Amino acid sequence: MTTSLSRIPRARDAERFGQRAAAARDPRPDPGRPLETEYRPRHPLDLRRTVLYQRRGAGDPTMTVSGSVIWRVSRTPAGIATLAIRETHPGVIRGAAWGPGREWALSQLPALCGADDDAADFDASRHPLIADAHHRNPGLRLSRTGLVFDALVGAIFEQKVTGMQAFAAWRRVVTWCGERAPGPTPAPMFAPPTVDGWQHVPSWVWHRAGLEPPQSQTIVRAARRGDAIVRTVLAADDGEAVDRVLVSQHGVGPWTSAETRIRALGDPDAVSVGDYHLAHEVGFALTGHRVDDDGMLRLLAAWPGQRQRVIRLIGASGVREPRRGPRLHPQDHRAR
């Protein structure tokens, strides 16, 4: 669908415009009969805490929750797939999938639920808060999607802005430029654009979505080499090798690399250095006071190879540094 520049709405109308345009595009295909599978994890599993880590905000058009069912739409190597997941009985996960990528999506269900996450060498006893959080959250697993480029693009959306801004921009661009999800989704859902599609998102869409030029330009540059990036990352031997591949891309630094590895590969040692809040939260949880990035890395060095697991357990512990000032009020530049 094309839109002339004269019909581009004002910033305050952009959301409604995008919703109407999406509804008029890609009518929901006949879902047909889904493929189904049953997964019985060999470990305790907190399904919601594990899988919903992949969601980018409550309004993510690729992921939602309806009742006891988690719905996820992805653009797999075999095509778009809609996956519905629920725990039917304790320790029994049912998955149903629609679309051309349904077999791939079902084959990845265990990894999405943390089956590849190996915590055998993790020693939680090195800090009482971590030991307690680990004991109270035995089902917390590190999920992986295997979809490197989508994770990379999502991380770039979150560079140097608040989560609220990033999630809103992601929702708009994916809804306006993505593809309607197959299957009986509880609301209209969309798969992200193809690698080639990210290159051809119009400049006015980035602006109306609220994404700044440095981020949109980084996405377009990455998309030009997207297939090569994915092949090289998946062929890499370890997290350090993956990191070298990702940070070699213009506009991708250690923070973006870590966020990509966490979601796509379930890297148990990735640390998002440079995050606005993370070092403060880790320092407060482990020592009672703030630290900077170097201090955070010194604290996390007690768990080599498992630093992301410690960060996730800190998040699950409920310990938060008290807020001492007003929340940052993000500026909306879309009316410029």
Q: What pTM does this model have?
A: 0.89
What pLDDT is stored for residue 7 in this prediction?
A: 41
Whether 8-27+123-336 and 35-122 share one fold: the answer is no
Neighbours of 321 (CB within 10 A): 15
CATH number listed for the domain at residues 35-122: 3.30.310.20
Does the structural domain 8-27+123-336 have CATH classification 1.10.10.10?
no
Return averaged pLDDT per consecutive 10 residues of the chain, 336 residues in all.
39 56 61 89 96 96 97 96 96 96 97 95 97 97 98 96 94 96 95 96 95 96 97 93 96 98 98 95 96 98 97 96 64 56
What pLDDT is stored for residue 322 in this prediction?
A: 83
Domain borders along the chain are 8-27+123-336, 35-122
What pLDDT is stored for residue 24 in this prediction?
A: 57
- Model confidence over 39-68: pLDDT tens digits? 999 999 999 999 999 999 999 999 999 999
What pLDDT is stored for residue 22 in this prediction?
A: 63
- Model confidence over 123-149: pLDDT tens digits? 999 999 999 999 999 999 999 999 999
